[in-house]
Every structure is written in C-alpha cells, then in structure tokens.
Amino acid sequence: MMWRRSLSLIVACTLALSAAACGDDTTPTSPTETVTEDYSGTLAPSGTNTHTFTVRASGTLTVILNSVAPLSTLAIGVSIGSWDGTNCTVLAANPNARASTTTAALSGSANQANFCLQVYDSGNLTGEITYAIQVTHP
C-alpha cells in the first residue's frame, strides 16, 4: 500500500511540474490571431458615428463598408483615427467609400493602440441611412 501512495505522489508531482513548465510566461511563437469586428448604425445628414476598438499587435488593418441602405451605391465617409478615450484624431480617411464585400474602404499598417472608426456624411445624404461596416486587424 505504501508504494502506491508514493507512486501517486510522484505522478502528481510530475504532472504539477509539467504544468508549471507549460505556463503562459513565454511569448507565443505562432502568428497573431486576426480579429474581425462588425459595426452598424444609422447615419443622419451631416452626422458622424464613432466606433472604438483596440489593436493588440502590429499588422494590417482593413475596413470594408459592407452595406448602405436604402441607397446601396451611395458614397459616405469612412475614417480611422487614434482614440485617447475621448477624442478621435483622424489618421486616414476615404470620403467616397462605397459598399462592397470585397473592396476595402481603407487599409494600412497599424501598431498596437486604441483606434476609432468614424462613419460620416461626406455631403451626399438627404435622409438617414443604415450601414454595416467591418474592421479586421491583429
């Protein structure tokens, strides 16, 4: 009986040491996971809507305007900026973004930081529209 308890203790200690060696202390070597965030809203004439998000690693940031309704061919403004918790400082803008599920309204490199996405009337709205927009980043 005594040897069984000793063997159980050795196995338990071995498992505990193995688990400790596999902790989260090291930097992962696999590529950073891509994050896709979907936003939607209603945009009024002369209006601006702001959505915030965090990029956790350096990489490519892409913005796709998926839909605009009721006028699917209407151009609206889309911008990306840095977010300080209160203000959105625009870094890049496309005042003539059109809905597409494959063509990026904006794309570029981003470092780890807090960002803001703004959807705005670039002078084309005569009434409210709804939109769906997607941001992909590391």
Please name the residues in contact with 125: beta carbons below 8 A apart, sequence gap of 6 or more: 43, 44, 45, 46, 47, 74, 76
User: Which option is the CATH number for 35-137: 3.40.720.10, 2.60.120.380, 2.60.40.420, 3.20.20.370?
Assistant: 2.60.120.380
Which helix or strand (DSSP H or E) is residue 97 part of? strand 88-97
The confidence band for 31, taking pLDDT boundaries of 50, 70 and 90, is low
- Local structure of 3: helix, strand or coil: helix
pLDDT over 60 (residue 28): no
What share of the chain has pLDDT > 70, as a percent? 78
pLDDT band at 5 (very low <50, low <70, confident <90, very high): very low
For the full predicted model, state whether its pTM sits above 0.85: no
- pLDDT score of 20: 40
pLDDT, tens digit, 9 for 90 and up, residues 74-101: 999 999 999 999 999 999 999 999 999 8
Angle value at C-alpha 107, between 102 and 111, nearest 5 degrees: 140
Return the pLDDT at 32.
74
128: left (phi over 0), alpha (psi -120 to 50) or beta: beta
Q: Which residue has the higher pLDDT, 1 or 114?
A: 114
